[in-house]
Structure 1
Amino acid sequence: MRVLFAGTPAVAVPSLEALIGAGFDVVAVLTRPDAPTGRKRIMTPSPVAARASELGIDLIHASKVDAGVTERIAGYQPDVAAIVAYGGLIPKAALGVPRHGWINLHFSLLPAWRGAAPVQRSVIAGDDVTGAATFLLEEGLDTGPVFGTLTETVRPEDTAGDLLERLSLSGAVLLSQTLSAIDAGKAAPQPQQGDVSLAPKLTLDDGRLDWRQPALAINRRSRGVTPEPGAWTMLDGQRVKLEPVAMRPDVRDLAPGHLRAEGRNVLVGTGSHAVQLGRIQPAGKKMMPSADWARGLATPENVEFE
C-alpha cells in the first residue's frame, strides 16, 4: 500500500519509522518548512523532515495544504495518508486524494480533548488515564470515526513531554496496525461516543502559575505546560521560568506567592498548602537549582511571586 506520511515534530518520527518497519511503501512525506531554532535562530528542518531525508524519502515542505500542494500529493498516487501532528488543516480537496482517506493518530481518547494540545490539557485537567486513537480525518475538528484506541496511565510526576513521548511510541504501533487492517479490508471505524472536550493550542499565558490556586492545580499546570510553553511567574516585574513544582502538603503557613528557604528546599505558598520549587530561570540567566538561586537573595522570606 502506497502511503503519504504527514508530520512535523519529534513525536511523529516513531510513526514514520513504524510504517517503514512494517513494510509500507512511504512514497512521500508532507511536513512544515524549516524553522529558526536556538538563540542564533538557525533555520532547521523539522524532526520528521530530517528523518525522512535520512531514509531517502521525498519531501513536500508546506505550511498549508493549498491547491499546489494537493496536486503534488496526488502525483504520488497514495492509497492512504497517515497524519501525526502535521500542524495544519487538510482541506476537503486534499482529503479526497487517497482512496482510503487520511488516517490521523491523535493523542487522546476521542472525543475527549479534540484539538492541538490533547496531552497538555489532559495533564492540566488531572486525568488519571489518557491514550491515543486512530481515526478517519474529516473536515470537522477531530470528529471522524475511530479505527482503534489505546490507553495510558498518567503518572503523578508526568510532564506533558514525558506522557507524549510514551504515547508517540505506543501510538506508532497503533497507527501501523490500523493501516494494516485497512490494507487487509478488515478495518471497521466506529462513530465517536462520549463527552466532547476541546484542547486548543497552549499560549504563553497558559504557563503562568496563579499562586492563589490550590497546590494541586498549580502542580498539574506546571507539569502540563512542560516543556512548552513552560511554567512561569512574575517577580519584580520580570518573568521567571520554572520547572514543575512538587507538592508539600506538610507546609501550610505560607501565604500565596510567598517564599521560604529550608536548606536545599525552596517553598512557595499557594491557595492551599505549599509547593516546592525545582529549577528556576531568572530573567536573563540560565536555569539553575532553586536553592542556588535563593542563596543569592538577601532576604528570601521577603520575596513574593506575583
Structure 2
Amino acid sequence: MRIVFAGTPAVAIPSLEAVAARHEVVAVVTREDAPLGRKRVLTPSPVAEAAERLGLPVIKANRLREEVTDRIRDLAPDLGVVVAYGGLVREPLLSLPRLGWVNLHFSLLPRWRGAAPVQHAVIAGDTETGAAVFYLVPELDAGDVYAELRRPIGPDETAGELLNALAVDGAALLADTADALAAGTARAVPQQGEPRPASKLTLDDARLDLTEPAHRVYARLRGVTPEPGAFALLGGERFKVLAARRTDGEPPLAPGVVEARGRRILVGTGTDPLELVTVQPAGKRAMSAADWMRGAAQSGDEGLVLS
C-alpha cells in the first residue's frame, strides 16, 4: 500500500521502520525542527532523522492545515498511520486516504486515552498495559480497535522503560494490521469499558508527595521518569530524584526526613521509607545519594527534610 506516516519522537521510529519494510511510505509527516539544549539549536525530530536515513520524503508541520492536506492528497495514499505525532488529524485530511487512518496507541483502550497513557498507567499502579491499533475518528482515541497486545508492568519499571518496550512490540502489531488492511482481512471492534483521560504531564505532576504511602510515591516517581522527572523541594529549591528503590522491613521515618542507614540513604513517606539511589540537587550534576549525603554532612547540613 501507499502509506503516509505521521510521528515525531523516538518511540515512533520502530513503527516507521516496520511499516516501511513492508509497504511504500510516500511521505513522513513530523513536527518542525525544535530548539534543543542550552544553546537552543534547531534540531530535526527523531522521526525526521530516521526518515532521512531511510530515504523517505518528509513533510514538517506542527499543524495539519490545508497546505499539508493538499500535499498529501497529491500523493494518493491508501492509508494514513499515526504514532505519537503530537497533533490532531482533522477533516478533510481524516477521510482522505482510501482506508482512512490508524493510530498505534500505547494503552489498552479505552483506558488511558490521551497524550501520556504509559505515564498515567504507571502512576495509577496498573499491573498490566499494552498497545492498541485503532481506526482514527474525530473523538480523541475513541475509534474501533483492530488489534491489541498485553504485557505486565514490572514492579520497578519506569514509564520510559515501559514505553520503549511497547514501541518495539507495538511496531510489529502495527505492521501486521497494515498487512491485514491491505489484504482486506482486518476487522475492528468497538472499545469496551470506561474511558480514562491521560493528559500530558506537567511539572506539577512530577512533584512527590512524601506524606503518601510508599507504594504511591514510588509509582509516581516511576511514572514521571524520565520526563518530566520526579522531584521534591529541599530548602525551597527543586531536588530531583532520578532513581529510588523500595525497602523491606525498615523502621519508619517521618515523611520527607532523610537519614543514612549503613550505606543506604532513606527518605520517609507516609508508610515505609524509600531508598534514594540517584539524585540531582538544584544547580548541581546528578550523583549517587550517598555522595550527596556525604557532601551535605561535610557542609554541616543537618536535619535534611524533603517536602
Q: Same fold (TM over 0.5)?
A: yes
Q: Is the 8 A contact 1:129 1:152 kept in 2?
A: yes
Aligned to 2:306: 305
Question: Are 1:12 and 2:15 an aligned pair?
Answer: no
1:264 CA drift (Å): 2.6
Instruction: Give deviations 1:47-75, integer Å, cap 9, x for gaps.
Output: 10000011111111000111111111111
CA–CA separation in structure 2 for the residues paired with 1:141 and 1:253: 44
Q: Is the 8 A contact 2:243 2:279 kept in 1?
A: no
Aligned to 1:244: 243
1:21 CA drift (Å): 1.8
1:159 CA drift (Å): 0.4
CA–CA separation in structure 1 for the residues paired with 2:221 and 2:12: 24
Instruction: Give deviations 1:154-175, integer Å, cap 9, x for gaps.
Output: 0111000100011000100000
CA–CA separation in structure 1 for the residues paired with 2:130 and 2:251: 35
Aligned to 2:146: 147
**Normalising by structure 1, what TM-score?**
0.98
Provide the secondary structure at the position in 1 that maps to 2:80: strand
1:300 CA drift (Å): 6.1
CA–CA separation in structure 2 for the residues paired with 1:75 and 1:242: 50
1:301 CA drift (Å): 5.3
Aligned to 2:263: 264
Structure 2: give runs of 5+ residues left out of the alignment. Answer: none
Residue-pair matches, total: 305
State the one-letter code of the partner of 2:47.
V
Structure 1 segment 200-239 matched on structure 2, within 5 A: 200-239=199-238
Aligned to 2:93: 94
Q: Is the 8 A contact 1:256 1:269 kept in 2?
A: yes
Runs of 4+ more than 2 Å apart:
298-301
Q: Is the 8 A contact 1:252 1:269 kept in 2?
A: no
Provide the secondary structure at the position in 2 that maps to 1:151: strand
CA–CA separation in structure 1 for the residues paired with 2:287 and 2:38: 18
1:92 CA drift (Å): 1.7
CA–CA separation in structure 2 for the residues paired with 1:201 and 1:42: 24
1:109 CA drift (Å): 0.6
Instruction: Give deviations 1:28-48, integer Å, cap 9, x for gaps.
Output: 000001111122221111110
Structure 1 segment 1-306 matched on structure 2, within 5 A: 1-22=1-22, 24-298=23-297, 302-306=303-307
CA–CA separation in structure 2 for the residues paired with 1:211 and 1:252: 16
CA–CA separation in structure 2 for the residues paired with 1:52 and 1:208: 36
Instruction: Give deviations 1:151-204, integer Å, cap 9, x for gaps.
Output: 111011100010001100010000001010000000111111112111110001
Provide the secondary structure at the position in 1 that maps to 2:50: helix
Deviates more, 1:178-187 or 1:70-79: 70-79
CA–CA separation in structure 1 for the residues paired with 2:277 and 2:216: 17
Q: Is the 8 A contact 1:33 1:46 kept in 2?
A: yes
1:297 CA drift (Å): 1.3
What is the identity percentage for the equivalent residue pairs of Structure 1 and Structure 2?
Answer: 52
1:143 CA drift (Å): 0.3
Q: Is the 8 A contact 1:102 1:136 kept in 2?
A: yes
Structure 1: give runs of 5+ residues left out of the alignment. Answer: none
- Give the superposed CA RMSD: 1.0
CA–CA separation in structure 1 for the residues paired with 2:306 and 2:122: 24
Deviates more, 1:131-140 or 1:193-202: 193-202
Q: Is the 8 A contact 1:264 1:291 kept in 2?
A: yes
Q: Is the 8 A contact 2:240 2:279 kept in 1?
A: yes
State the one-letter code of the partner of 2:81.
A
Provide the secondary structure at the position in 1 that maps to 2:184: coil
**Normalising by structure 2, what TM-score?**
0.97
